[in-house]
Structure 1
């Protein structure tokens, strides 16, 4: 058996994945990390807990790839069959690793319980396999040769999979022949710009033969731009990518809110904390989603004063002091009500800054004048009021709420950076 290519295949294992009960949360992360390490992924599969079929599939993939990585199926139950399928594909038997078994027993003793007999399955490995320690859980991974390929089994829980990959696999990938060029990669995040608008303004930077290469991913109003270049002996890739990052910041200005692992809520929360700016939120259509995103930021208690979820009109009157005449004349979804909500939240919470959301998330409740997806935002800053109108695509209630919550955060960001740009 010989390996035909230097590419990598990823196999997510589990009947629950095939049934649609759970989504695979490992494949995308693995593909990105492997590409950066010079191991581009050419194939991703979902396979069930059928040992014979899984064994045949793994054997076939190992004939065409230098590296095949599985995730899942390493637990202690009878339907966790990845280790058995891997042994079949490698043409060997399963054997107990005494050190792993002792470690499992000790882990249970430390928790004050005896190890169930079923956990002994987690100490079984194909003969000749290299054990990959799991610092985040009880299921170790392993690496076993199948022909000229490496077959690697990683645990299914994402935190455990990442821990095993980074600690026990990534440092050893250079020992596998046929690897490609490592790539240096950075990310830039923008808000409030469509993919097509970005492409028009980016121009030739988006060409497939450009250096560095750029790609873009859109989600809920956020654009994530990936910039990457092949790494050589020197620092040319870093210089190329840094230059393009600077170009993007100049060209897109205030649309850029962060880089790499930054997210919008964290950027806003940290700016509030750094400036000591107290904040409150008043929400109708988003139902507490804005507040939820903000309070996930460590340290936000220093500045976050209060969140109001005033879904009913009467709640807007009683909790925020919105004038009933405004509601009778304009309805809840309008600029005057959004501003009144923001003012009420700021005054009652004694906050310098407040944002409010009121809109129609759908799927019902829209009209020709106020369609589903229409959201008005109110912003109160040191007593000054303003309002912003946004019409989001009617792609479902949760989508509209997510767009609206992120827009509210971006309005806070704009107010902190420059009131005129908010």
Structure 2
């Protein structure tokens, strides 16, 4: 099958509105987690998140279109625009063979919450006609395809926190099997609202370290007490290697392996078997190369970090790669996490530097690997892996190779 490479990337999160500022802040160990400002948290037990506070959707969309799109779509379109500009398509592309693979775990929760209040307080006739289109997860791919006139396959992954990674593997499979010549991948999430924070909080999934937001998300640390909600988007342009070379495109990396699995175990608690099989499948597909770096799922929850560590040990044995989680810096962006973290893997390869795991001060004895604690590390990685695991027991891993 033909080789699939990445020629454009984009990213937005609580540390930056573009890939360069975001990655620079991540490498420097900065933290974008702070007190929530988008709604009143007075009655909430969790009041902090990785919130994007300086994003104006009118800068990337026609103001008339802004009201038709939930915040997750707006963030996704911002990342997609950066990725498409980065890919530098100077000549016209074949619209019919250029598809979209989008992803979100929850989608338009903000607009769902808003219109639920409206229907109960003012009645059904006051519901916005844009409510349903704004809330639909696949409308992210729909609006991105309209923006660029992309008429190839229009796919959408809705697999909780593994969605962004699955969108990459779905796009790659589509190309490898002849369904498209190019694919634009975009994963986005914006669930920082009263219902989102309240819902995850009621599950006891979130950290309650409200008085110390910069140190609240602590992947692999013994004192971790839950994840922090983040929001943002990541985007990747995929095309065939020979096409990228022919047009002189910059190649960030090649997609050489991906793996997917299901736990069939518990709706929220991870199993060892599921993540292990996803990583192993990606590793085998890539030809069992020396993986230099893993961007871990690393949520800062007691269950995930211990479980992921055990799975990594099982897959790699004595050759465990260097590992880090960026969720201490930007929070857990749910369905966008896999796309954002894939972009980080590619930029780490480009800049020859591995991002740190911040707030790792008291290592958990059950998490005893090299997590690049607190300070970024200069290193030329040839192969990087990104892991994503989601509620419902859905898992995904993807491997990139330097070209």
Bigger proportion of residues as strand:
1
Shorter-chain TM-score category? under 0.3
The structure whose Rg is larger is 1
Normalised by the size of structure 2, how large is the TM-score? 0.21
Bigger proportion of residues as helix:
1
